[in-house]
Amino acid sequence: MKTNLQYIFDKITRQSGDDGKGDDLDKAALIELTIALGASDRGVAISVDIASFVADVVLASRTANRAEMSELRASLSHEHHVPAYDSHA
């Protein structure tokens, strides 16, 4: 099952890839976007510290190759601080 942080990462990176609009976001904007997506799309509160971590992963992914991208995304799978989304609940 995809974690909340992986969902947010996927949404941000997919959005950037589709229209290029997310490519110019700096870390502060990515933190705000992560917190907003957590609340609006997943119904979870994401702390600034965790949002900062997600922003760092998104920034690193901009220059990553496919294998590195998978590793970066996998780093978001251990989220004891944010409950996993279950669409069947």
Distance of CA 17 to the CA centre of its chain: 14
Interaxial angle between packed helices 27-42 and 48-61, expressed in degrees from 0 to 180 and rounded to the nearest 10: 110
Is residue 53 assigned to a domain?
A: yes
Is residue 46 assigned to a domain?
A: yes
Closest C-alpha among 18, 9, 30, 22 to residue 82: 9
Is residue 41 assigned to a domain?
A: yes
With bands split at pLDDT 50, 70 and 90, how would you rate the model's confidence at 79?
A: low
pLDDT of residue 51: 95
Is residue 11 assigned to a domain?
A: yes
Locate all alpha helices (DSSP H) within 1-89, ordered by sequence.
4-19, 27-42, 48-61, 66-74
DSSP 77: S
> Region 54-76: what's the mean pLDDT?
92
Per residue in 11-64, pLDDT (tens digit) is: 999 886 655 556 678 999 999 999 999 999 999 999 999 999 999 999 999 889
Residue 67 structural domain: 4-74
**Token duo for residue 9:** 């990462």
pLDDT of residue 88: 47
The domain tally of the chain equals 1
